Amino acid sequence: MPAKRSSDELPQPQNNMWDFIAYYLRFQRTERGLSGDALGRVIKAGKSQVSRIETGLERLDGTQAALLDRAWNTGRLFSLLVWYASIGHDPQWFPQYLALEQRATMIRIFSSQLIHGLLQTEDYAREIIGAGGPLDPEDALQKRLGRHAVLNRDSPPYITVLLSQASLEWPVGTPEVMRAQHQHLIDLSKQPNITLRLVPRTWDVGAHPGLDGSFQLMFGLDYGEVAFSESPEGGRLVSSPADVMDYAVRYDRISAKALPEEPSRDLIRTLMEDLQ
């Protein structure tokens, strides 16, 4: 049986709205003298899922919130909290995102304008981070490179990558930096746990759902599936099953526009040859 967490290890309500929901759910359960099993019967979940929600490893979804509101007569409080948490900026989004990424067993990535951080070479990452102007660029670089460990662990996640052609064409650093980055993508694409395909910039492809921006989906055995949507200076983690499904559908629609694996590698080689 896992050790009981101290109060300092539980979600802190001042961190963000999701942690507040986890904290408040646990508070309301204990105030009512309910066990995890009893709460699970209310929201149609097992005791282990209740524990994951209360400890911040999983998030209460809209359906569960509605069941709570009805059972406890809250005036839609939990539904509104989940709604605000889902649409709002989360100041703790990146640490949460990194934790999920490192525990993922499957990752689906779509990159619209830049090569995704897990796929970047050191020189490419240094240029991108430097352009962002962090206070300590070397520290930021080492943290980004440290994320690559997930690719080399004993049981690495299965990763499918969709890259827009534009993400390979935008000049970063020097032609040498870009050629090395392109070769790195080709090398990664030959690993058995990585499938990489390009969405070509052609009239046949035209407008597609990926033009709205980059995103990814992550699946972990201990947290299910979540989506992550990027935005300048921030991002948003999405855990509601209905919203995650919307991202999965978008990913499939973009995938339908992408080239197969070998033609994708051929296009990367062509783009490498064009770099001067």
pLDDT in tens, 54-79: 988 888 888 999 999 999 999 999 99
Q: Is 192 helix (H, G, I), strand (E, B) or coil?
A: coil
**pLDDT tens per residue, range 88-138:** 555 566 777 788 888 889 999 999 999 999 999 999 999 998 887 777 888
| pLDDT band per the 50, 70, 90 thresholds, residue 2 | very low
> For the whole model, what pTM was predicted?
0.71
| Listed residue (172, 263, 166) closest to 211, CA to CA | 166
pLDDT at 226: 86
Question: Do the beta carbons of residue 196 and residue 185 sit within 8 Å?
Answer: yes
Domain boundaries in the chain?
A: 7-87, 93-274
The alpha carbon dihedral of 61, 64, 67, 71 has a sign of negative
Three-state DSSP state, 223: coil
CB of 214 closer than 8 Å to CB of 113: yes
Model pLDDT for residues 16-31, shown as the tens digit of each residue: 788 899 999 999 999 9
3-class secondary structure, 36: helix
Q: For residues 103 and 144, what is the distance between their CA atoms, to the nearest angstrom?
A: 16
Matching fold, domains 7-87 and 93-274: no
> Please, are residues 243 and 86 in contact by the beta-carbon 8 Å criterion?
yes
Of 2-6, 244-248, 253-257, 268-272, give the lowest mean pLDDT range. Answer: 2-6
Phi and psi dihedrals of 159, rounded to 5?
Answer: -125, 125
Asked if residues 189 and 160 have their Cβ atoms less than 8 Å apart, the reply is no
Residue 216: CB atoms within 10 A of its CB come to 25
Q: By three-state DSSP, how is residue 66 classified? A: helix
Domain 93-274 falls under CATH 3.30.110: no
22, 15 Cβ separation under 8 angstroms: no
Residue 232 reports pLDDT greater than 90: no
Are residues 110 and 198 in contact, defined by beta-carbon separation less than 8 angstroms? no
Judge residue 239's burial from the number of C-beta atoms within 10 Å of its C-beta, 0-12 exposed, 13-18 middle, 19 or more buried. buried
Superfamily of domain 7-87, CATH level 4: lambda repressor-like DNA-binding domains (1.10.260.40)
pLDDT tens digits along 140-194: 899 889 989 899 888 999 999 999 999 999 999 999 999 999 999 999 999 999 9
Phi first, then psi: give them for residue 114, nearest 5 degrees: -130, 160
- Supply the pLDDT for residue 8: 60
SS3 127: helix
Q: Do residues 48 and 228 lie in contact, with contact meaning Cβ atoms separated by under 8 Å? A: no
Which burial class, exposed, middle or buried, applies to 268 when counting CB atoms under 10 A from its CB (0-12, 13-18, 19+)? buried
Q: What is the rounded average pLDDT for all residues in the chain?
A: 87
Is the pLDDT at 205 greater than 80? The verdict is yes
The mean pLDDT value for 185-208 works out to 94
